[in-house]
């Protein structure tokens, strides 16, 4: 298989995460049902089947797919239906909470003034 210039080296990503989590090749091998030599080879290779990578994601509780996505240019498209609706809902909720906060501050100031007047 020809590896292009835009390849994201999955072996490097895997090595970094296993070092951070202090997971040895035999430990990861047990978690994914493979021998330690296979894990060593995954770390050395620049590519990996997505099914294997998904198994490793679950075993290590780490999203390598997200790591790879972060390495791609931001202007690339994504399949995220309803993103605009979710962002609008979030913005509406923030606006509502800001208004509630403003009202509560006013009420608090009024209560403090009443308490000072007593």
Per-residue model confidence as pLDDT tens digits over 76-92: 888 776 777 888 899 99
Instruction: Give domain 10-70's CATH architecture.
Output: Orthogonal Bundle (1.10)
pLDDT for res 1: 57
- The owner of tokens 């296993």 is 18
pLDDT of residue 112 exceeding 80, the answer is yes
**Who contacts 1 (Cβ-Cβ below 8 Å, separation ≥6)?**
47
Environment class of 8 (CB within 10 Å of its CB; exposed 0-12, middle 13-18, buried 19+): middle
Please report, for the chain, the start and end positions of each structural domain, with discontinuous segments joined by +. Answer: 10-70, 81-118
pLDDT tens for 25-50 read 999 999 999 999 999 999 999 999 99
pLDDT for res 85: 82
Give the CA dihedral 14, 20, 26, 30, nearest 10 degrees. -80
DSSP 25: H
Q: What distance in Å separates the CA atoms of residue 114 and residue 117, rounded to the nearest whole number? A: 5
pLDDT for res 4: 77
pLDDT of residue 24 exceeding 90, the answer is yes
Environment class of 56 (CB within 10 Å of its CB; exposed 0-12, middle 13-18, buried 19+): buried
3 or 19: which leads in pLDDT: 19
Q: How long a stretch of residues is the chain?
A: 118
Per-residue pLDDT band at 2 (split at 50, 70, 90)? low
């Amino acid at each position: 298989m020809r590896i292009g210039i835009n390849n994201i080296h999955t072996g490097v990503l895997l090595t970094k995460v296993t070092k951070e989590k202090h997971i040895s090749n035999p430990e990861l091998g047990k978690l994914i049902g493979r021998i330690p030599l296979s894990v060593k080879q995954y770390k050395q290779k620049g590519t990996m089947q997505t099914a294997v990578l998904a198994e490793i994601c679950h075993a290590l509780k780490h999203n390598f797919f997200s790591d790879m996505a972060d390495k791609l240019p931001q202007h690339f498209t994504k399949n995220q239906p309803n993103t605009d609706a979710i962002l609008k809902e979030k913005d509406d909720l923030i606006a509502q909470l800001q208004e509630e906060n403003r009202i509560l501050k006013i009420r608090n100031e009024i209560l403090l003034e009443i308490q000072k007047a007593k």
